[in-house]
């Protein structure tokens, strides 16, 4: 079995660790490029959102690399995303691609995991340690990203930050034991601290919270490297959602955390009372929380035709006016012109600096 899953931010790093430990051959889809878009746009329905299209393109590229099984999250809850796996299977079959689609949802997750374990000749309980290891790698990868966000804003040698971040990323891909992971975890901060000087004037640094649809937030290729571009402008970026938080939410394991869905619903309660799917409620709640934490501004990312975020876009201006925080709205639909994005980001950051 050659297994693959859609490209989404650092997901491939975690899956490399997970399937490596279980002993299943994992084929990482190549980074999302113009070719991925081209395939995705050709095969997908026109009105569907950008993440769907990117996934299709990414699946095709993985199949070309030899993948024969695709794992995709699904189930009721988020938005039409819950049905994407089945639809994508049909589309790709019609286009002549042969593979097995495994949609992981609330009902099938145990069955699918048992199946995966059986491929490696193991029982369900025997693959649990692999999840623990993958979780460790995931947390490391996110810690790396957060450190990069911090240093990119505070340090004038932006190229060095990029270099260190991707260096650690490739180290993570090669990490296969707990001992290696623990060592990396201890050294992580030092990689940055020893090489970089935080020489940017603290008054120059702007704090921006990024919120909106999860795929756009997690995948740097899809959002045109917005985190990096903001870092180059001395912006300290925080994202509302990281993969680990999303997985916890998906499995309802975050019930007692302060960011649990129940708590977010309470926070957003004055503005939105019904569950609109996707990240709609979370978007409103995080805008309120960022304002409370005195962030300078917000950037909201929406893939074109995303219903939950469209609803959030109509509520956010009221939230921002009430809480006294500014928001820049960006809609993505596969266009590749960076000039327009850069101009908006620069103007927004200039504006936030002037307002201080």
Partner 1 sequence: MDKKEVYIGIDVGSVSVNLAIIDGRGNLLKKRYIRTNGAPINAVRKALSENRAELAGEYDVAGAATTGSGRHLIGYLIGADEIKNEITAHAVGAMHYFDDVSTVIEIGGQDSKIIIIENKIVVDFAMNTICAAGTGSFLDQQAQRLGIDISEFGSYALESVMPTKIAGRCGVFAESDMIHKQQIGYPKHDIIAGLCFALVNNYLNNVGRGKKIDDKIVFQGGVAANRGIVKAFGETLSRQIFVAEHYDVMGAIGAALISLKSREKGRYSKSKFKGPECFDGDITSDAFECAGCSNRCEIISVKKEGTRLFNIGGRCGKYDYKG
Interface residues with partner 1 (CB under 8 A) are 30-31, 33-36, 224-225, 317, 326, 331, 336, 338-340, 342-344, 346-348, 350-351, 354-355
Characterize the bridge pairing of strands 297-303 and 235-239.
unpaired
Q: Among positive and negative, which fits the CA dihedral 165, 295, 306, 47? A: negative
Percentages helix, strand, coil for the chain (3-state, rounded to 5) are: 60, 10, 30
- Tell me whether residue 100 or residue 335 sits nearer to partner 1 (CB atom): 335
Closest CA to 14 of 68, 71, 65, 66: 71
Closest approach of Cβ 140 to partner 1, in Å? Answer: 24
End-to-end Cα, the chain, rounded Å:
56
Q: How far apart are CA 242 and CA 230, in angstroms?
A: 18
- Tell me whether residue 187 or residue 350 sits nearer to partner 1 (CB atom): 350
Closest approach of Cβ 312 to partner 1, in Å? Answer: 15
- Tell me whether residue 38 or residue 187 sits nearer to partner 1 (CB atom): 38
Q: How far apart are CA 158 and CA 192, in angstroms?
A: 12
- Tell me whether residue 146 or residue 344 sits nearer to partner 1 (CB atom): 344
Closest CA to 188 of 173, 212, 172: 172
- Tell me whether residue 262 or residue 351 sits nearer to partner 1 (CB atom): 351
What's the burial of 94, exposed, middle or buried (CB within 10 Å: 0-12/13-18/19+)? exposed
* H or E element in which residue 4 lies: strand 2-5
Closest approach of Cβ 277 to partner 1, in Å? Answer: 25
Question: Across the beta sheet with 69-73, what order do the strands follow?
Answer: 25-26, 2-5, 69-73, 100-104
Closest approach of Cβ 187 to partner 1, in Å? Answer: 27
Closest approach of Cβ 250 to partner 1, in Å? Answer: 31
- Tell me whether residue 258 or residue 294 sits nearer to partner 1 (CB atom): 294
- Tell me whether residue 156 or residue 176 sits nearer to partner 1 (CB atom): 156
Other Cβ atoms less than 10 A from the Cβ of 20: the count is 18
What is the distance of C-alpha 8 from the center of its chain?
6
Tokens (6 digits) for 283? 């978007």
- Tell me whether residue 265 or residue 344 sits nearer to partner 1 (CB atom): 344
Closest approach of Cβ 159 to partner 1, in Å? Answer: 9
Cβ–Cβ under 8 Å, residues 82 and 69: no
Closest approach of Cβ 253 to partner 1, in Å? Answer: 36
Closest approach of Cβ 84 to partner 1, in Å? Answer: 24
């Amino acid at each position: 079995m050659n297994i693959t899953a859609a490209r989404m931010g650092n997901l491939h790093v975690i899956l490399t660790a997970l399937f490596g430990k279980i002993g299943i051959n994992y084929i990482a889809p190549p980074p999302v490029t113009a070719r991925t878009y081209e395939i995705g746009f050709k095969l997908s329905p026109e009105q569907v959102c950008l993440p769907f299209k990117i996934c299709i393109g990414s699946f095709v590229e993985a199949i070309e690399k030899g993948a024969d099984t695709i794992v995709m999250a699904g189930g009721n809850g988020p938005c039409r995303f819950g049905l994407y796996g089945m639809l994508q299977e049909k589309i790709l079959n019609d286009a002549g691609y042969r593979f097995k689609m495994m949609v992981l949802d609330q009902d099938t997750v145990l069955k699918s995991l048992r199946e995966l374990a059986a491929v490696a000749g193991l029982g369900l309980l025997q693959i649990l340690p692999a999840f623990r290891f993958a979780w460790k790698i995931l947390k490391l990868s996110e810690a790396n990203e957060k450190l990069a966000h911090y240093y990119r804003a505070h340090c004038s040698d932006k190229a060095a930050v990029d270099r260190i971040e991707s260096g650690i990323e490739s180290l993570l891909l090669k990490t296969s034991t707990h001992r290696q992971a623990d060592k990396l975890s201890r050294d992580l901060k030092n990689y940055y601290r020893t090489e970089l000087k935080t020489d940017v004037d603290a008054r120059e640094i702007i704090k921006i919270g990024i919120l909106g649809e999860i795929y756009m937030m997690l995948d740097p290729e899809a959002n045109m490297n917005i985190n990096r571009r903001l870092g180059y402008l001395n912006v300290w970026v925080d994202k509302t959602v990281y993969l680990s938080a999303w997985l916890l939410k998906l499995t309802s394991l975050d019930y007692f955390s302060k960011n649990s869905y129940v708590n977010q619903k309470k926070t957003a309660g004055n503005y939105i009372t019904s569950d609109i799917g996707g990240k709609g409620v979370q978007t409103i709640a995080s805008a309120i929380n960022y304002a409370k934490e005195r962030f300078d501004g917000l950037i909201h990312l929406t893939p074109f035709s995303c219903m939950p975020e469209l609803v959030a876009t109509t509520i956010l201006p009221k939230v921002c006016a009430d809480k006294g925080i500014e928001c820049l709205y960006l809609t993505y639909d596969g266009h590749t012109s960076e000039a327009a994005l850069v101009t908006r980001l620069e103007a927004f950051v200039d504006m936030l600096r002037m307002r201080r």
